Amino acid sequence: MKILISDKISKRGIELLQREPDFQVDVKTDLSREALMTVIRDYDALIVRSATKVTNEVIERAKNLKVIGRAGTGVDNVDVEAATRHGVAVMNTPAGNSTSVAEHAFALMLALARSIPNANASLKQGQWDKKSFLGSELKDKFLGIIGLGKIGIEVARRAQAFKMRVMAYDPYVSERIAKDLTVALVPLEILLRESDFITLHLALSSATRGFIDSAKLKLMKPTARLINCARGEVIDEAALCEALAAKRIAGAALDVFAEEPPENRRLLEFPNLICTPHIGASTVEAQENVGIEIARQVRTFLKSGVAQNAVNLPSLTLEEFHKLEPFLRLGERMGTFLASIVEGRVNEIGIRYYGELAQINTSFISNTIVKALLLPVSDRVNAINARAVAEERGITVVESNSSRQRHFSNLISLKLHLTDGSTPPPQETKRTRIPASEGGASSLAAQPQTREEWVEGTVLLGPAGLLNESACRLVSVDGIDLEAPLRGTLLFFRNEDTPGVVGHIGTTLGRTHINIAGFALGRDENTHTAIGVVNIDDDVSREVLEEICRFPAIRFARVVKV
């Protein structure tokens, strides 16, 4: 097996591969694009960091390539779609730099609390201005962590050493994980209103782009400080400029920016902003860790075919793929649909298969479902590592088959067990009733209320097993039967079973020139509740959705894209 290492990685990682008698390891750094395309043809594995750009053209030239290993978290420099098309596994090392990033976030927090950069600059300019740099202790302060993944957990542990009171917002972390960390899981609004320091550790996705916007900044206390070592795009930088200029918050510290290097020079000029050039993972230890880890992963894959931290779909034979494809599509759409309509923290994902599905290997389908459910909160989740990501977040995945006869020849039942809400931390005037010695933020949590969200779906295959765009069907929501094509843009709503709802929705959509492609309704006569799914040709604006929700009988409405 031939392995090309085209960027600098840990010497120990290189030696780990060189010890394998069947491996030929070539280290060729600083290759030009043309040189890489020339030499890549005969290699089985390619290991890179950030400098090498693994484009579609490079992958097309790599006739023997089986795996691309990225020593680091992101894979922005790898064309993952092209790799998937060519059957090449792509791996990264998401945990290798967790400690370094967490420590940098904490360093920025301390620098904000004590005005260290400004004090340093003042003294070097010949001033001895002690009175201008009155700081703040971290002890007993509320730290709000948005995103309680690997890095967020490391930040929480360090905060407790400083006797801070830690709360977190993460809908996809279970109460068990938070309890073990002595962290209170709270609603986002409570975290924003009560935190003295807020640190962001979010994955970047369509749901988190611009997550911290003007409205959320206005919820923060004027004494609060914001830290971002995640992705620059999760903050609306224009809104942050306004907040800093108006002194709506006390300060901010950024290691990442929407554009790097940042072109928004106005943001950098605020005296209450601390900034560093994306160096959160830039430590000797982190670079050593990711180099060794990617070498281990590539070695394991080449020797056994086991993919760890892969970011693309697993390799399947053509026959297996054709058999699973309709159900992979159904599972992904069901997961996307359910993730879009649930509110609360997920503790357990239950997946049950009926009919012909009970006779085949459904593990890839389940992984696809879990991936779709977690994708809004994790940019590294995929069909290979979905269960591992769920386990990290304390979410149990239960997969089962049933021989019970249902109305469809194949059926997937997807159920989420959720926890609703938690008790908010006390207001500023009441903080004295939660001494740090009594567990800090752990005393903020109340007994959780549990409930379930449940959907079922099927694939209606045409003659000779042909699949069309309307083949994936939603056939039940929370035990209420209905049948709607699970594709495109959907308007889902829950309502009291009273007259006028359908007319109101149809009239509102028609008046705003939104064409209805399908309308499916279901009713529960015992509870006098109903649900509806409207297939529409156009997106629904927030204003239109708010108008729909003004009808008294409508309890919930959401636009979903699958």
pLDDT confidence of residue 87: 76
Topology annotation, domain 488-562: Alpha-Beta Plaits (3.30.70)
* 2-95+284-304 shares its CATH topology with 98-275: yes
CATH number belonging to domain 313-487:
3.30.1330.90
52 in Cβ contact with 6 (< 8 Å): yes
Topology annotation, domain 98-275: Rossmann fold (3.40.50)
Phi-psi region of 126 (alpha: psi -120 to 50; beta: other; left: phi over 0): left
Within 10 A of 179 (CB to CB), how many other CB atoms are there? 14
Q: Rounded to an integer, what distance in angstroms lies between the CA atom of residue 92 and that of residue 75?
A: 7
Catalytic machinery residues: 231, 260, 278
526-554: b or e for each residue (b if 16 or more CB lie within 10 Å)? eeebbbbbbbbeeebeeebeebbeebebb
Residue 359's contacts (CB-CB under 8 Å, 6 or more residues apart) are: none
List per-residue pLDDT tens for the chain, 562 residues long. Answer: 999 999 999 999 999 999 999 999 999 998 999 999 999 999 999 999 888 999 999 999 999 999 999 998 778 789 988 887 787 889 998 878 899 999 999 999 999 999 999 999 999 999 999 999 999 999 999 999 999 988 999 999 999 999 999 999 998 888 888 999 999 999 999 999 999 999 999 988 778 899 999 999 999 999 999 999 999 999 999 999 999 999 999 999 999 999 989 887 889 999 999 999 999 988 999 989 999 999 999 999 899 877 788 887 654 545 666 778 899 999 999 999 999 998 888 999 999 999 988 888 788 899 899 999 998 888 767 776 788 789 888 999 999 999 888 888 899 999 999 987 543 343 333 333 333 334 444 444 455 678 899 999 999 976 545 566 678 999 999 999 999 999 999 999 999 999 999 999 999 999 999 999 999 999 998 999 999 999 999 889 989 999 999 999 999 999 999 9
CATH superfamily for domain 2-95+284-304:
NAD(P)-binding Rossmann-like Domain (3.40.50.720)
473 in Cβ contact with 457 (< 8 Å): yes
pLDDT confidence of residue 343: 83
CA atoms within 13 A on the CB side of 494: 14
List of E strands, 307-370: 345-355
pLDDT confidence of residue 421: 53
Element (H, E) at 237: helix 237-245
Within 10 A of 500 (CB to CB), how many other CB atoms are there? 13
Name the residue ranges covered by the structural domains of the chain: 2-95+284-304, 98-275, 313-487, 488-562
CA–CA distance from 545 to each of 323, 514, 542, 557 (Å)?
39, 12, 5, 7
pTM > 0.75: no
